[in-house]
Amino acid sequence: MINDVWGLKRDPGLVRVVAERGVPVVLVSNKRDDPAKGDIVAEVRADLERGIELALKAGVLRENIILDPGIGFGKTVEQNLALVGRLQELKALGFPLLLGTSRKSFIGAVLDLPPGERLEGTAATVAIGIARGADIVRVHDVGPMARLCRMSDAVVRGKW
């Protein structure tokens, strides 16, 4: 698996490697070089759509594409909160969603806590993310988050 924090838009050779190797690719929406000026969800969606188009044109299999809204990658606290809260709008693109909120600075800003004390904030964002369409989560505290994911999946997807 390749996790590209630039969504295949920074290194033109990377998309060829992904297509040739037939591996899954995570397309991350990164706003570090192009800060959002309007609706963050619409801008992230457009950014991810550009990455999807690049991937498909290069021959990447549709089933190998995973989308990541890029929580914390050039986004404000408010923008990160909006992305988690409106994740279903990105799920509508029809690809698996990866959500990486674990211990991120926006949680610290909201709760006024250092990274090591952000477990509950992470748990809240992961549970809400699953309810809004996240299929994969990246976390630090694997044990508690795995239990949270299993419970969230049982409620949201009827999987247990």
Positions marked active-site? 104, 138
Q: Which position has the token pair 């397309």?
A: 27
Give the DSSP letter of residue 59: T
Neighbour tally for 44: CB within 10 Å: 29
Residue 35 DSSP SS3: coil
Six-digit token string for 44: 């992230």
Owner of token pair 């994740």: 87
d(CA 87, CA 69): 8
Residue 78: partners with Cβ closer than 8 Å, 6 or more residues away: none
Three-state DSSP class for 2? strand
Asked if residues 55 and 30 have their Cβ atoms less than 8 Å apart, the reply is: no
